[in-house]
Amino acid sequence: MSHTALSPALSAVEKQDFRNAMARLGAAVNIITTDGPGGRAGFTASAVCSVTDSPPTLLVCLNRSASVWPTFMQNQVLCVNTLAAEHEALSNLFGGKTPMAERFIAAEWATLLTGAPILNGAVASFDCRISQTISVGTHDILFCEAQALVCNHHGAGLIYFDRGYHHLLRQEAR
């Protein structure tokens, strides 16, 4: 049986159409930090998700053209700091272009096991070692095995949806 390929004009998804559709997927906002021999760095990421609880693993997608990419590759440790509603301005600071020292001075940080900066007041922080990296297109998928956790059960979460920030409150807190 022969198959007729769809013409590229019908099957190809334009980059901008893909982005417009992706903008409709609400996602938590995170600041991903690292520290170690390569120095300290951090960036804002919405492309983060849970992979498996055994071993406890998340993934983070990082654009290889980001200024922070070499630092993460050198350090091989990172912390996924999931932001609270109050961290909207911080999210923009870590979202690109701002010099690294100016990003970190705007908040308070601690460390746990790996030395990656833990953000004070984050709704959750996952202190991780990078266990595996896979390149897909422009991005690297970093598989991150949690070594230690901080979980904050109070306060509102921060969601990025339709190219804007939204605050999430538990139903009973409204």
Ligand X SMILES: NC(=O)C1=CN([C@@H]2O[C@H](COP(=O)(O)OP(=O)(O)OC[C@H]3O[C@@H](n4cnc5c(N)ncnc54)[C@H](O)[C@@H]3O)[C@@H](O)[C@H]2O)C=CC1
Binding residues for ligand FMN (CB under 6 A): 29, 43-47, 61-63, 66-68, 91, 94-97, 160
CB of 96 to ligand X, least distance (A): 6
Minimum distance from residue 26 beta carbon to ligand FMN (Å): 11
115/96 Cα distance (integer angstroms): 23
Binding test (CB under 6 A) with ligand X, winner from 57, 63, 111, 147: 63
Residues 136, 65: Cα–Cα separation, whole Å:
13
**Does residue 61 belong to the site contacting ligand X (CB under 6 A)?**
yes
Q: Which residue's CB is nearer to ligand FMN, number 15 or number 97?
A: 97
Please identify, using beta-carbon distances, which residue of 94 and 126 lies nearer to ligand X. 94
Q: Is 134 in the site for ligand X (CB under 6 A)?
A: no
22 in contact with ligand X (CB under 6 A) = yes
Q: Given the structure tokens 């096991």, which residue do they identify?
A: 113
For residue 40 the two structure tokens come to 């300290």
Classify residue 160 by burial, with Cβ atoms within 10 Å: 0-12, 13-18, 19+: buried
Query: Nearest Cα to 61, choosing from 85, 75, 78?
Result: 78
User: At CA 81, angle to CA 99 and CA 88, rounded to 5?
Assistant: 65
159 binds ligand X (CB under 6 A): no
Q: In whole angstroms, give the CA distance from residue 7 to residue 85.
A: 45
Smallest distance from ligand X to CB 162, Å: 9
Give the footprint of ligand X on this chain (CB under 6 A).
19, 22-23, 46-47, 61, 63, 138, 163
